[in-house]
């Protein structure tokens, strides 16, 4: 067991290393942002002086080594645009994205599970069809489109909710709904499918024959087994959660990491982009690690 | 994807055929309309007509009826949506095929050879999957420009990991089968074994994976276009139509509504088809 | 203390406070871009915010003339030396005095090569700054610099408190700035809001509006929606094609600043064939229908122009825009040896108002004279890199402005002088004229030189000026606001009705 954990940790570290190298070199291969950062009207001399002061004219490998050694000291560099340590910037925006992500996951898991359970209890019936339709539409509607439609209806037409901003509960509603829709449907479909499977096993059939209520069966016996694939999927989807958050934050002007990432890319703010990608990779790797361990805990017979 | 075998036991034929039928029908209608649009009696997708800006759906126009209305430069929305669907589908299909080709090749080789080749591939896949797709695409486009080729290639490059994983898993399974062992014992060369014996077995799961990957790619391409980082206007794609329409939401709602409906319909169609194929062929993708 | 008494006391207190709170005048302003840092010496973006927290020695009045600011008077002692006399009794909001020491400190920290200030290019003519006594400053320039007072009226020449800056360091200062301006900073949450409160001891008097919140809302529709719902009272950067959305809204007013924006032009690489032939360049200019662009694509919020300088700039020459003449263009091309036209690569960014659409229209106009233009619309960050490295297409659309300086030199020198990073022109006459204008202190002489440059632009067409954008603001009708040509928003001048 310990061996497995150490092994997975080692793999994760290797992955992080690979990600950092990939991002670093691809960012720097196509040129440096020195000219972009100087105000228009600067002379070539001034641009070159700036380039030299930032170390952009050193060999790439040296720059990468310098970057890595910085990381080991906890220094992820300074944002080229905000002139602040990158970690501080990310730390500032992280709560906003975390709030969004957690809200989205919370409502989508709950509603998804509910829909899945209701569907599985009366499969192929009208209720099942309705739930499946709802779940299906969640996956078919692109995140950004859903967000825009909601803004159209609730902000522009009805003026019930603000079309952007941060700080009030009203501002959280629409972004959380857009972001969570996809996961809600994924959870619902998966819950339904795996519950259906579990409900057909002999073990459950016996319980049913014994006269136990369907609800009790589902909740006490079926769910635990059905949850395994649902949890696994959540892990996989978490990586795309950041991607979905990116677009959602742009649409709703939500001051989170996603919006920061896009601005950083457009401004060629290398240190910031690198740090955000590393962070995203870290989150993904960590979540997958936790999922793997949970997997082990839930079902010790599964080999990793 | 978990296979709902339970559902199969109840009413096998009807369910699968029903879903697959709806899905295929949706896709066929949209794709046919998109492909045939140059010959349909619709106003041109690229001509500006500043006399006819922001007309509501159903308005008559100089070149014909604007069934879905016009945009900020007086261009017919329906034509633009159909042209955009053509382009988006082309990008998506090509990149799916590229991803499938690269992924399958790498996965099969790694699965077959095992050892350090396999371990290396697995790490590469992990690295690739650890970075959110859209971030990766935005990065590459920001660095290399948003040409058609670049977009197709980079989207293909985000897909390969999934195919590689599945191909590798299947290859590992197949490799241990007796008849493959026999073939190897007979001394056939590696490429021959791969092409004639292993790959055909991969065909079905890969096709299923394709039909499930295409919707993801459609939404990805639309998202990148929406952010303004994909193919640039005036060439319409489903994504940049919505992106442009967003700036004019105060003046017209249909610019955002209709392209999104088409995306949703395409995704639903592909998903229905893919699900039906999944169940029909009893494929397991784990 | 007895409970009822306490309750009564608190209620009474609340009632006493209520009227005071109700009387506080507060507004929210929506901007298109968000502030990243507020150190006026190291700004990477517009100075709209710091302009209200800090002062400059020279102020730009409502009529765009130079007025006394922190300095009551200034004069050129000789060709290379200026003496500024400071206003007495002005303090920063932390109590420090605004004196010669502060001015020297503020300018030195930008001029210091070790600080790598990106804004140094705006004051690079300064050789040294000395404090003469407590309230006089002597500035020595490398050569004659007629623009020095103008330089002292805009960023980066805002005066900062030396004591405070030295105590907290540059990074902290950029997040918690302290100045002597009409407002002081209360809160700065990047990408979310900036809150300023009135400086009661401001040397011009207490401002009318007590509290101002700046909110960055990059998306235009969201910006306008915030105005329509009353969330904000002033919006900057209203796109021309969204103006119809503001019609029929009685509580919203559109404010148009004619010529307040940038001048859009087509840059030409005159080293490349066939652009090296003046007849070809003139033909290209004659093919374009500039009024159509401004009328139809900019909805009238632009003015065709034949010069890069703005109407309020010193040295402005009202050169009329080239009138479209397809026949003449064709004959010029034939004369130059291209009777059947030629192919050309054009780049245009999406960044300016309807610029991609204008580029489309340009392509159409050029095809009418036989020039087949291949248009590329690159992404902005890619494009700026190309332009700065001189790797852009032979014909490229760009915008230039002199808004903060209001001097024709800023609009002409960087794009006409050979060797400048943003110039693709190599013309010895331009070089001589431009260099000479920078050396001439006499205003009349300078004006003539700058006018000669603009005249030559009209004749030689080294680049093709297209039109000058208007800037559009929108505000609630409860707010008294006048848009300025220099794009500043002085909160001090705002009033609530």
Nearest to B229 by CA among B140, B96, B131: B140
Considering only CB atoms, A250 lies closest to which of B6, B227, B265, namely B227
Chain B partners within 8 Å of C226 (Cβ): none
Q: Is pLDDT at A216 greater than 70 in this prediction?
A: no
Chain C partners within 8 Å of A50 (Cβ): 116, 118
Chain C partners within 8 Å of B150 (Cβ): none
Residue C193 CA to chain centroid, in angstroms? 21
Chain C partners within 8 Å of B149 (Cβ): none
Q: How far is CA C385 from CA A269, C120, C388, in A?
A: 13, 20, 5
Residue B210: CB partners within 8 Å, gap ≥ 6?
A: B96, B100
Which pLDDT band holds residue A112 (cuts at 50, 70, 90)? confident
pLDDT for position B144: 76
pLDDT for position B171: 81
- Taking an 8 Å cut-off on Cβ atoms, the answer to whether A247 and B215 are in contact is no
Identify the residue among C34, C111, C120, C121 best suited for mutation to test binding to A, counting A beta carbons within 10 A and taking the highest: C121
Residue A292 CA to chain centroid, in angstroms? 18
- Taking an 8 Å cut-off on Cβ atoms, the answer to whether B247 and C239 are in contact is yes
Cβ-based neighbour number of residue B106 at 10 Å: 20
Question: Residue B12 and residue C279: Cα distance in Å, rounded?
Answer: 77
Q: Using the structure block, give the residue that is written with the tokens 């159409």.
A: C364
pLDDT for position B159: 83
- Taking an 8 Å cut-off on Cβ atoms, the answer to whether C224 and B250 are in contact is yes
Q: Side by side, which strands form the sheet with C136-141?
A: C71-78, C81-86, C136-141, C126-132
Question: Residue B102 and residue B110: Cα distance in Å, rounded?
Answer: 12
Strand partners, C375: C346
Q: Is A160 on the interface with B (CB under 8 A)?
A: no
Q: Is C230 on the interface with A (CB under 8 A)?
A: no
For residue C381, give how far its alpha carbon lies from the nearest alpha carbon of chain A (Å): 6
Cβ-based neighbour number of residue B269 at 10 Å: 24
pLDDT for position A49: 79
pTM of the shown model: 0.80
Question: Residue C234 and residue C29: Cα distance in Å, rounded?
Answer: 5
Considering only CB atoms, C190 lies closest to which of A47, A92, A156, namely A92
Residue B122: CB partners within 8 Å, gap ≥ 6?
A: B110, B168
Read off the pLDDT of residues A34-85 as tens digits, 9 standing for 90 and up. Answer: 766 666 666 777 778 778 877 778 887 888 888 888 888 888 888 877 778 8
Chain B partners within 8 Å of A268 (Cβ): 142
Considering only CB atoms, A53 lies closest to which of C116, C120, C121, namely C116
Question: Where is B238: in which H helix or E strand?
Answer: helix B238-247
Considering only CB atoms, B73 lies closest to which of C221, C350, C357, namely C357
- Taking an 8 Å cut-off on Cβ atoms, the answer to whether A39 and C119 are in contact is yes
Chain A partners within 8 Å of C415 (Cβ): none
Q: Which chains touch A (3 or more CB pairs under 8 A)?
A: B, C
Nearest to A97 by CA among A295, A247, A296: A247
Q: Is A147 on the interface with C (CB under 8 A)?
A: no
Identify the residue among C239, C242, C294, C381 best suited for mutation to test binding to B, counting B beta carbons within 10 A and taking the highest: C242
pLDDT tens digits in sequence order for chain C, 497 residues long:
445 555 555 555 555 554 444 568 999 999 988 888 899 988 877 889 999 999 999 999 988 889 999 999 999 998 899 999 999 999 999 999 999 999 999 999 999 988 878 788 889 899 999 999 999 999 999 988 888 999 999 989 999 999 999 999 998 899 899 999 999 999 998 878 899 999 999 999 999 999 999 998 888 888 998 898 888 999 999 988 889 889 888 889 999 999 888 999 999 999 888 899 999 999 999 999 999 999 988 989 999 999 999 998 999 999 999 999 999 999 999 999 999 889 999 999 988 888 888 998 899 899 999 999 999 888 777 788 788 888 899 999 999 988 788 899 989 998 999 988 889 999 999 999 999 998 888 889 999 999 999 999 999 999 999 999 999 999 999 999 999 998 899 999 999 98
For residue C34, give how far its alpha carbon lies from the nearest alpha carbon of chain B (Å): 19
Q: Is A37 on the interface with C (CB under 8 A)?
A: yes
- Taking an 8 Å cut-off on Cβ atoms, the answer to whether A23 and B2 are in contact is no
Considering only CB atoms, A200 lies closest to which of B6, B139, B144, namely B6
pLDDT for position B6: 43
pLDDT for position C188: 92
pLDDT for position A304: 45
Read off the pLDDT of residues B221-279 as tens digits, 9 standing for 90 and up. Answer: 999 999 888 888 778 999 999 998 988 888 888 999 999 999 999 988 888 888 777 77
Nearest to B274 by CA among B200, B218, B205, B202: B205
Question: Residue A119 and residue A105: Cα distance in Å, rounded?
Answer: 20
Identify the residue among A28, A41, A174 best suited for mutation to test binding to C, counting C beta carbons within 10 A and taking the highest: A41
Peptide bond before residue B234 is cis, with ω within 30 degrees of 0: yes
Q: Using the structure block, give the residue that is written with the tokens 């079926």.
A: A222
Chain B partners within 8 Å of A144 (Cβ): 222-223, 226, 242
Question: Residue C481 and residue C300: Cα distance in Å, rounded?
Answer: 22
Chain A partners within 8 Å of B144 (Cβ): 30
């Amino acid at each position: 067991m310990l061996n497995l954990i150490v092994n997975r940790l080692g793999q994760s570290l290797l992955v992080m290393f690979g990600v950092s190298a990939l991002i670093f070199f691809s960012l720097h291969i196509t040129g440096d942002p020195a000219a972009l950062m100087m105000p228009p009207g600067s002379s070539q001399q001034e641009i070159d002086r700036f380039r030299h002061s930032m170390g952009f004219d050193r060999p790439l490998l040296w720059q990468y080594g310098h970057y890595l050694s910085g990381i080991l000291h906890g220094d992820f560099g300074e944002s080229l645009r905000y002139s602040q340590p990158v970690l501080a910037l990310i730390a500032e925006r992280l709560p906003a994205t975390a709030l969004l992500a957690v809200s989205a996951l919370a409502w989508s898991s709950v509603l998804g599970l509910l829909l899945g359970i209701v569907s599985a209890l009366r499969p192929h019936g009208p209720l099942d069809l309705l739930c499946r339709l709802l779940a299906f539409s969640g996956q078919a509607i692109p995140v950004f489109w859903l967000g825009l439609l909601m803004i159209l209806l609730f902000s522009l037409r009805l003026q019930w909710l603000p079309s952007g901003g941060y700080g009030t509960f009203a501002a959280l509603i629409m972004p959380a709904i857009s972001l969570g829709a996809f996961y809600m449907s994924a959870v619902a479909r998966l819950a339904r499918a795996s519950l259906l499977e579990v409900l057909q096993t002999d073990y459950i059939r016996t319980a049913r024959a014994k006269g136990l209520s369907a609800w009790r069966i589902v909740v006490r016996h079926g769910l635990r087994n059905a949850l395994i694939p649902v949890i696994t999927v959540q892990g996989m989807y978490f990586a795309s959660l950041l991607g979905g958050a990116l677009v959602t934050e742009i649409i709703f002007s939500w001051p989170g990491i996603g919006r920061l990432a896009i601005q950083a890319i457009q401004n060629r703010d290398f240190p910031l982009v690198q740090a955000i990608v590393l962070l995203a990779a870290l989150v993904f790797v960590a979540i997958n690690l936790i999922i793997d361990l949970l997997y082990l805990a839930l079902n010790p017979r599964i080999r990793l | 994807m978990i296979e709902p075998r339970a559902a199969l036991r109840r009413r096998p034929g009807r369910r699968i055929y029903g879903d697959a039928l709806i899905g295929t029908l949706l896709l066929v209608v949209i794709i046919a309309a998109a492909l045939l649009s140059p010959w349909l009696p619709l106003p041109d997708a690229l001509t500006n007509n500043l006399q006819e800006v922001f007309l509501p759906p159903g308005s008559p126009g100089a070149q014909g009826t604007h069934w879905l209305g016009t945009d900020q430069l007086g261009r017919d929305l329906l034509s633009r949506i159909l042209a955009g669907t053509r382009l988006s589908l082309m990008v998506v299909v090509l990149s799916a095929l590229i991803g499938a080709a690269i992924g399958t090749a790498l996965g099969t080789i790694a699965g077959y050879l095992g050892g350090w080749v396999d371990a290396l591939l697995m790490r590469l896949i992990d690295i690739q999957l650890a970075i959110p797709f859209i971030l990766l695409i935005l990065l590459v486009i920001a660095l290399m420009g948003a040409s058609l080729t670049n977009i197709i290639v980079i989207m293909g490059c985000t897909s390969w990991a999934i195919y590689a994983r599945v191909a590798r898993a299947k290859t590992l399974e197949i490799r241990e089968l007796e008849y493959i062992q026999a073939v190897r014992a007979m001394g056939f060369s590696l490429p021959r074994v791969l092409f004639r014996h292993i790959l055909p077995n991969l065909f079905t799961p890969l096709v299923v994976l394709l039909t499930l990957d295409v919707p993801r790619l459609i939404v990805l391409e639309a998202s990148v276009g929406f952010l303004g980082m994909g193919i640039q206007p005036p060439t319409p794609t489903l994504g940049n139509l919505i992106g442009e329409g967003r700036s004019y939401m105060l003046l017209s709602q249909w610019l955002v509504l209709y392209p999104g409906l088409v995306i949703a319909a395409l995704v639903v169609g592909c998903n229905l088809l893919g699900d039906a194929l999944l169940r029909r062929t009893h494929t397991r993708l784990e | 203390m007895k409970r009822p008494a306490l309750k009564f006391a608190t209620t009474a207190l609340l009632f006493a406070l209520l009227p005071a709170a109700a009387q506080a005048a507060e507004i929210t302003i929506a901007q298109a871009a968000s502030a990243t840092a507020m150190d006026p010496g190291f700004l990477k973006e517009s100075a709209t915010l710091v302009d209200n927290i800090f002062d400059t020695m020279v102020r730009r009045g409502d009529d765009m003339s130079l007025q006394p600011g922190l300095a009551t008077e200034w004069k050129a002692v000789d060709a290379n030396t200026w003496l500024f006399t400071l206003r007495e009794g002005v303090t920063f909001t932390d109590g420090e005095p605004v004196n010669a020491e502060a001015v020297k400190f503020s300018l030195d920290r930008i001029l210091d090569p070790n600080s790598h200030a990106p804004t140094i290019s705006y004051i690079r003519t300064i050789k040294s700054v000395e404090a003469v006594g407590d309230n006089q400053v002597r500035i020595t320039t490398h050569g004659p610099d007629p623009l020095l007072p103008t330089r002292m009226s805009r960023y980066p020449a805002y005066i900062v408190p030396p004591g405070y800056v030295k105590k907290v360091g540059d990074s902290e200062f950029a997040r918690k700035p302290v100045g002597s301006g009409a407002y002081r900073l209360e809160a700065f949450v990047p990408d979310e809001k900036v809150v300023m409160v009135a400086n009661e001891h401001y040397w011009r008097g207490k401002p009318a509006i007590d509290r101002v919140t700046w909110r960055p809302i990059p998306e235009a529709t969201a910006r306008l929606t915030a105005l329509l719902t009353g969330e904000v009272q002033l919006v900057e950067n209203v796109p021309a094609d969204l103006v119809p959305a503001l019609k029929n809204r009685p509580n919203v007013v559109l404010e148009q600043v004619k010529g307040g924006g940038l001048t859009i032009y087509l840059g030409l690489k005159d080293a490349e064939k066939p652009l090296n032939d003046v007849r070809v360049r003139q033909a290209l200019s004659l093919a374009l229908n500039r009024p159509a662009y401004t009328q139809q694509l900019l909805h009238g919020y632009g003015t065709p122009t034949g010069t890069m300088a703005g109407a309020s700039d010193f040295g402005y020459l009202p050169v009329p825009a080239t009138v479209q003449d397809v026949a003449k263009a064709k004959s010029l091309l034939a004369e130059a040896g291209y009777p059947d036209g030629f192919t050309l690569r054009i780049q245009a960014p999406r960044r300016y108002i309807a610029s991609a659409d204008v580029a489309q229209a340009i392509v159409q106009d050029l095809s009418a004279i036989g020039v087949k233009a291949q248009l590329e619309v690159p992404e902005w960050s890619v494009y700026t890199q190309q332009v700065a490295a001189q790797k852009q297409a032979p014909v490229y659309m760009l915008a230039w402005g002199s808004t903060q300086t209001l001097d024709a030199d800023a609009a002409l020198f960087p794009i006409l002088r050979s060797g400048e990073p943003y110039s693709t022109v190599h013309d010895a006459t331009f070089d001589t004229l431009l260099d000479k204008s920078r050396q001439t202190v006499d205003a009349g002489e300078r004006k003539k030189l700058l006018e000669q440059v603009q005249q030559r632009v009209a004749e030689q067409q080294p680049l093709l000026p297209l039109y000058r954008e208007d800037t559009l603001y929108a505000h609630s009708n409860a707010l008294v606001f006048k848009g300025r040509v220099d794009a500043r928003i002085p909160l001090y001048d705002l009033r609530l009705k």
